[in-house]
Each structure stands twice: as structure tokens, then as C-alpha cells.
């Protein structure tokens, strides 16, 4: 049995088991709540913020060799962490090398940790169109591509030219568009760690692109409860339908469980009030799914990732 996964030794004795070049990155029992939009959850057993691709690959390889579960944390906009925390390694891709944005011709090269909004703004500023209708979607480029983010009839998947990934053993893999399967709000990249994404975009007038982005932003902002800060979209919109409409149809606007609720005016959003717990969130989510399934025969899929 591996001592790391067995819990036989106190946490700090594990430091010597990390490669010397990675020891300085490791933090023990790091609270995860401050890194998520919901502000809920316990600590990560191990936590690291690598500053290079080499360090990231080394962390992934170490976790694989010692059978330690690993999770990648980006913007935290769709993550719900239980109060027990995560008994493994959480890697946060917040360092500058993972947020880089470069333009080469009609291609935009994005680090996986770059915010999607920043990537859209960079593309527009360089007169490259395609991403602007995704303005207002929270999160990072890596998360958006893995989940095939979509809005207003635009999916991010068809804009992807190439993805640079890390496999679970720390080795690197390149996939071009023909090697990636995108479907409604998902892809076959799940389970891989995305390092960089190349988008192939179309030259367009900067003024027109800016107008499109602003219009999209205004519409999306109007559909969000701006008076609350700890909010998430717990459900994926079904293909050809809208989660908010379904929730309204079954009469669940404003529904509350413990210290979480669905917004009264924008029922697709879950709001975490003071004292909210992961159990409150899960109870509300399950109630909504049951009611929608019972009354409308539709299985709402989760947008939230539960740790």
C-alpha cells in the first residue's frame, strides 16, 4: 500500500516523498472555499500552483506514480467542494505562463488558465472573429473547451484548431481538431489536463466585433442576478431548451434549501447565502432534478463539478 494514499504518516512527513524540484510548490490542507465562486468547501490535502509546464507535468507524474487523485482548478466558477475537502492534489493554473495569449496570423494561442473573457477581448482587438458571441461565459479557456461552452447558437468546439494536453502519467499530447470529439456541452478531452488551446478564427472588422460582444454581454448580464456574488449555474441547458424555462415551468423559481436558493428572477442561477453548505447545494439540485424529471420527463445534467 502506498503511504501517501493510506494516510499512515502525518502530512508534513510526505514532503520528503515529493521530488526536490517540486517540494517548494506543495501546501498542505489548503482551504479551497476562497478559490471557488460559491465560497464553499473544505481543504485540499495537497495544493500546488506550478509556474511552468515542466512543474505541472512533474506534479501530474508524481500523483500518477503514487496513486494520488488530482484535480485541476481554474477560475472555480463551476466547482462545488464538499466540507470534507478533497483528499488528493489540487493544482491551480493561476501562474502567468498558463494565462498567456498570443496571436499568430488568424490563430489565437491561449494558455488553459486564461480567462475566456480575456481571450475574447484579445481576439477582437486583433480583428479576429468567432469567439465574441461567447462573451459573458465565466471560467477559463481550458474549462470552456473541455465543456464545449456554448451560447446563442455558437459553440467553442468548432473554433478549436489544436489542443496541447498532459496525460495522467505526465506525458504530453497534441490533438488537432480532427482528433477531438465535441458534443453538446461536452468533449472527449475530459480526463486530460489542457495546457494550451489554438483557435482558428476569421478576420473581421474590429468595430463590428466589438458591437457584437457588447450586445452579447448586455444580454447575458441582464439574465444574471447581479446583486449576489456567490452564484453559479448548476445545470446545463438541454439541447434546444433552456434550464431556466424548465425550472419556471415546474414552479421552482426562488426555491430554497437551507442557505441556498434559486434566484427568483433568474432561476437558472443558484445563490449561496451566508452559512451555505455543500449539503444545502446538493439537496436543492437533487430536488430540482427530481421535479423536472417527474413533471417534464427531462433529465437535467449538471454544470457543476462536485469534489
Q: Which residues are catalytic?
A: 185
Give 166-171 contacts, CB < 8 A, sequence gap 24+.
166/56, 166/57, 166/60, 166/192, 166/193, 166/195, 167/60, 167/192, 167/193, 168/60, 168/64, 168/70, 168/192, 169/60, 169/61, 169/64, 170/57, 170/58, 170/60, 170/61, 170/62, 170/64, 171/57
Quote the CA–CA distance of 261 and 247 in Å, as a whole number.
Answer: 12
Phi-psi region of 90 (alpha: psi -120 to 50; beta: other; left: phi over 0): beta
Q: How far is CA 170 from the centre of its chain?
A: 21
Neighbours of 260 (CB within 10 A): 27
Instruction: Tell me whether strands 128-129 and 202-203 are parallel, antiparallel or unpaired.
Output: antiparallel
- Cα diameter, the chain: 61
DSSP of 282-299, one letter per residue?
A: HHHHHHHHHHHHHHH---
Q: How far is CA 72 from the centre of its chain?
A: 9
Quote the CA–CA distance of 137 and 74 in Å, as a whole number.
Answer: 14
Residue of 125, 117, 102 lying closest to 203 (CA atoms): 125
Q: Give the angle subtended at the CA of 203 by the CAs of 202 and 204, to the nearest 5°.
A: 110
Amino acid at each position: 500500500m502506498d503511504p501517501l494514499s493510506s494516510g499512515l504518516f502525518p502530512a508534513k512527513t510526505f514532503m520528503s516523498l515529493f521530488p526536490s524540484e517540486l517540494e517548494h510548490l506543495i501546501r498542505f490542507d489548503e482551504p479551497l472555499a476562497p478559490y471557488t465562486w460559491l465560497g464553499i468547501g473544505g481543504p485540499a490535502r495537497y495544493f500546488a500552483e506550478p509556474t511552468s509546464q515542466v512543474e505541472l507535468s512533474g506534479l501530474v507524474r508524481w500523483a500518477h506514480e503514487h496513486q494520488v487523485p488530482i484535480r485541476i482548478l481554474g477560475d472555480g466558477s463551476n466547482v462545488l467542494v464538499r466540507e470534507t475537502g478533497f483528499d488528493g492534489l489540487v493544482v491551480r493554473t493561476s501562474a502567468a505562463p498558463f494565462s498567456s495569449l498570443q496571436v499568430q496570423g488568424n490563430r489565437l494561442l491561449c494558455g488553459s488558465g486564461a480567462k475566456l473573457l480575456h481571450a475574447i477581448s484579445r481576439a477582437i482587438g486583433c480583428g479576429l472573429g468567432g469567439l465574441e458571441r461567447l462573451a459573458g461565459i465565466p471560467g477559463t479557456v481550458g474549462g470552456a473547451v473541455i465543456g464545449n461552452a456554448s451560447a446563442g447558437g455558437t459553440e467553442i468546439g468548432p473554433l478549436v484548431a489544436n489542443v496541447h494536453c498532459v496525460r495522467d502519467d505526465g506525458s504530453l499530447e497534441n490533438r488537432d481538431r480532427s482528433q477531438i470529439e465535441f458534443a453538446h456541452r461536452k468533449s472527449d478531452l475530459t480526463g486530460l489536463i489542457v495546457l494550451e488551446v489554438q483557435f482558428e478564427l476569421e478576420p473581421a472588422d474590429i468595430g463590428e466585433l466589438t458591437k457584437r460582444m457588447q450586445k452579447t454581454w448586455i444580454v447575458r448580464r441582464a439574465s444574471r442576478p447581479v446583486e449576489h456574488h456567490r452564484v453559479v449555474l448548476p445545470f446545463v441547458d438541454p439541447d434546444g431548451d433552456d434550464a431556466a424555462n424548465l425550472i419556471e415551468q415546474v414552479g421552482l423559481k426562488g426555491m430554497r434549501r437551507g442557505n441556498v436558493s434559486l434566484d427568483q428572477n433568474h432561476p437558472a442561477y443558484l445563490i449561496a447565502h451566508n452559512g451555505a453548505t455543500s449539503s444545502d447545494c446538493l439537496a436543492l439540485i437533487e430536488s430540482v432534478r427530481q421535479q423536472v424529471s417527474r413533471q417534464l420527463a427531462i433529465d437535467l445534467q449538471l454544470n457543476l463539478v462536485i469534489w
